[in-house]
Structure 1
Amino acid sequence: MSSVIPRVSQLSHRVIRILGCNPSPMTLQGTNTYLIGTGKKRILLDTGDTGFPEYINLLQQELSEKSVALQEIVVSHWHHDHVGGIVDIFRDIKPGCKVLKLPPASEKKDDKPAENIDYTYLKDGDKLKTEGATLR
């Protein structure tokens, strides 16, 4: 018997999981995305896939309820269900923040899901700090 996890879960005082609302055999109930930190600016780890307005609505709701904004978006890896939502977030939430990702193994056309968004490559050992959390 499988259990259903909530679309939004407070995992700890500094981490909120928001499901990407893109269920599939690979994503199960949806891609896990995470709002990280405790302050007015938070890090979003992964963005779900493009074309899932329910996810964007959940993310907007969490940002609004907590009175917080996105400091940075970090992409854990470059599968479409982790990076595709960047386009929708920049269009609908307009965060005005950096998008950080690991350098590509090779330069491929699909390494940039949106041409009008700048990406900053992370290096091994980089530290990302936000109030209440540090990621390395």
Structure 2
Amino acid sequence: MKPSLAAIKKQFPEAARDIETLEKLGFASRSDGWIDSLDTEKAQTACWLLGKIGGKQDADTLLSILSGQRSELWGQAGVSLSCIARKKHITPLLTLFENSPHRCAAIPRSLYAFIYKLLHSKSAGNCRTDTC
């Protein structure tokens, strides 16, 4: 079970103010493209937060960020995606890497570890890495 925003604020008190700002900016609703409207710092915090409490839809959002043009978000989006992605995200990730090899340098090792574990996992659900 994913922790609540309150639990994350308690666990990471240094991020509490940033989390509260994201709450005011619509984090709870997380409508399509909401991260695109944020400045870089808030967008990176939003990506980090999705890795802590996100679900399937949030994994799709992070995959979209990895496919997008905001290269300054790719690293955090990759780390967070490795925490919440599912097997269904493997094919789009591999396609992304194949079609955009320049992105590979910006992708954190935790995402590669996630893909490897998921490809070699016998379970059909989530496969966590040690970074989450």
Short-chain TM bin: 0.3 to 0.5
The structure in which a higher percent of residues are helix is 2
* TM-score normalised over the length of structure 2: 0.36
* TM-score normalised over the length of structure 1: 0.36
